[in-house]
Amino acid sequence: MSTVLLLKLLLVPALIAGVTFAGRRWGPAVAGWLSAFPIVAGPILWFIALEQGVAFAAQAAVGTLSAVLGMLAFGLSYAWAATRFPWTLSLPLAYGGYALAVVVLEWWNATLPAAAGVVLLALWLAPRFYPRMHAAAPPPVKPPRDMLLRMLLGALLVLAVTWFAAQLGPSLSGILAMFPVMGTVLVLFTHRSAGNAATVQLLRGMVLGFYSFSTFCAVLAWMLKTVEVGMAFLSALAAAGLVQGLSRLWMNSHGLAVARRRS
């Protein structure tokens, strides 16, 4: 087994497991915030850069940046559907919103400045359009199969997108790197175990996390054109980490972080 294949099978599932444990300790808003960090799309773009080249990866990173709009469509669709329907109807409606956004994004084929500007505006506006619901208490601890399912889906997505990258092209490869794997499993289990209010809180937390994700993609797309691959990814991660830290301070100041539960 090659080193690259081994990383595809192990790296993303391990990162997903870390987010799962953190989310269980600090609640749905923090879980959503953490899940938006580039723990799935980041490794996918890394593998694309190694296998398809720097120019391909830079264009794919722009596609992934624009795909934040697709994730917002997924989140808003699910949040409003969850106010009326169970997860069995809410999830298909959310996928419908995401699919429609992907069609528009593939047609748009945005440049880096255009994608960055539109995504930043959308992130600023999006919280105003979520339903106003508040979770009364943190959700209960979820069974181990929850985490295992997240890890399996993450590994399958990495394998699928990187395997078909040449056929999909850089733009669509980048967009599909943002397929809502974490979002699907998070909302499904949260909705079933903790109700619609906790699910809406989770999805609103994702919006805040997308600021760091968008920073990662924008910096990566820009840096890949000027420096070698490793330095580009390190720079993008450093910038995303800084924004993630600032957003954590914002969460604390606005009372969105859930206190650590006692064991």
Using 50 as the pLDDT threshold, list the residues of the chain that sit under it.
Answer: 1, 139, 141, 258-263
Coil, helix or strand for 177? coil
Look at residue 184 in the predicted model and tell me its pLDDT: 80
Phi, psi of 124 (to 5 degrees): -70, -35
260 belongs to a structural domain: no
Alpha-carbon 105 to chain mean position: 17
- Residue at 258 is within a domain: no
Q: How many CA atoms lie within 13 A of 3 on its CB side?
A: 2
For the chain, how many structural domains are there in total?
1
Note down the domain range covering 67: 3-133+140-253
CA torsion through residues 23, 28, 33, 39, sign: positive
> Per the domain annotation, does 262 fall within a domain?
no
| Spatial distance between the Cα atoms of 58 and 61, rounded to a whole number of angstroms | 5
pLDDT value at position 169?
84
Task: Confirm whether 261 is domain-assigned.
Answer: no
In a domain, 101, yes or no: yes
pLDDT of residue 247: 82
Tell me, yes or no, whether 38 lies in a domain.
yes
Q: How far apart are CA 192 and CA 196, in angstroms?
A: 8
Residue 44: inside a domain: yes
239: three-class secondary structure by DSSP? helix
Is 69 part of a structural domain of the chain?
A: yes
Whole-angstrom distance, CA of residue 260 vs CA of residue 263: 9
User: What is the tens place of the pLDDT at every residue in 4-41?
Assistant: 566 667 776 776 777 667 767 766 667 677 777 787 78
- Reading the block at residue 66, the tokens are 């624009």
Q: Output the pTM of the full model.
A: 0.81
CA distance linking residue 233 with residue 42, whole number of Å: 8
